[in-house]
């Protein structure tokens, strides 16, 4: 683990950074000269990503944090607060998706989605606000989903958490904009990430794998580039909500 403090560089914390959108965003932000602080439970992958960034001239550090564990979150913030006076960007990307019919759903899956997708975001944001407010504000980007706007069968609690996170983000935006903090909800449609592989319900996993075969999902770098755009906006501009969907597959016409 590397802990560096460079007041001349912007500092970004990314949750769920060991793969998918989080990993792609970390690599791209490092190329744009951000100091990136990566958190996830998968310390092996985080170490590999940080080694790649640091060996290429970037600055990256990582922490193994269980966002479902309040003590783990508090310990992380305590450590960061001792090493950094200011955080410029917080990207709440970590999430859990466990689709299932309501009738056969497991309460433990519901509880974990509510904790990871909503409560942990609220807690980490609350604890890091003093570092974001310090000397001029910054950006909070919450990664949601198009499920924040429409509910589908078998995705009841997942969609509920994303709807709730959207409401939390809007309340947060109104509270912190006077401190020059911009809050953005970034809601992608299907992205080619690891989430499907972590679905516990076997039948739902197979359905999801079959579904993704028949579409052209967004790439993780599509989302990372959108994040760069949001962060680099002039201070007078804030984008509150972004919905990203893939274009339909190109049709082949025969003459």
* E strand residue ranges, 29-138: 35-40, 59-64, 89-92
Q: What are phi and psi of 9, to 5 degrees?
A: -110, 155
139-143 sheet: strands from edge to edge: 59-64, 35-40, 11-15, 89-92, 139-143, 182-188, 241-244
The answer to whether 158 is a known catalytic residue is yes
Distance CA 143, CA 197 (A): 19
In this structure, are residues 142 and 185 in contact, taking their beta carbons and an 8 Å threshold?
yes
Give the number of other CB atoms < 10 A from CB of residue 136. 12
- The single residue of 44, 84, 158, 229 carrying the catalytic annotation is 158
Q: Where in the sequence numbering do the catalytic residues fall?
A: 158
């Amino acid at each position: 683990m590397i802990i560096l403090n460079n007041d001349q560089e912007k500092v970004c914390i990314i949750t769920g950074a060991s793969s998918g959108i989080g990993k792609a965003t970390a690599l791209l932000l490092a190329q744009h000269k951000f100091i990136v602080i990566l958190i996830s439970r998968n310390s092996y992958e985080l170490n590999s990503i940080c080694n790649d960034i640091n060996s290429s001239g970037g600055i990256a550090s990582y922490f193994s944090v269980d966002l479902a564990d309040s003590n783990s979150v508090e310990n992380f913030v305590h450590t960061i607060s001792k090493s950094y006076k200011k955080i410029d960007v917080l990207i709440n990307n970590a999430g859990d998706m466990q689709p299932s019919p309501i009738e056969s759903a497991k309460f433990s899956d519901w509880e974990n989605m509510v904790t990871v997708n909503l409560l942990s975001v609220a807690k980490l944001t609350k604890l890091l606000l003093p570092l974001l407010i310090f000397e001029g504000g910054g950006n909070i980007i919450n990664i949601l989903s198009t499920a924040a706007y429409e509910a589908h069968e078998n995705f009841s609690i997942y969609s509920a958490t994303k709807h709730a996170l959207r409401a939390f983000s809007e309340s947060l935006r109104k509270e912190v904009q006077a401190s020059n903090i911009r809050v953005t909800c970034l809601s992608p449609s299907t992205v080619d990430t690891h989430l499907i592989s972590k679905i516990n319900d076997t039948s739902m996993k197979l359905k999801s794998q079959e579904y993704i075969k028949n579409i052209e999902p967004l790439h993780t770098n599509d989302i990372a580039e959108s994040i760069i755009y949001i962060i680099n906006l002039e201070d007078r501009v804030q984008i509150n909500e972004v919905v990203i969907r893939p274009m339909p597959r190109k049709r082949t016409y025969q003459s």
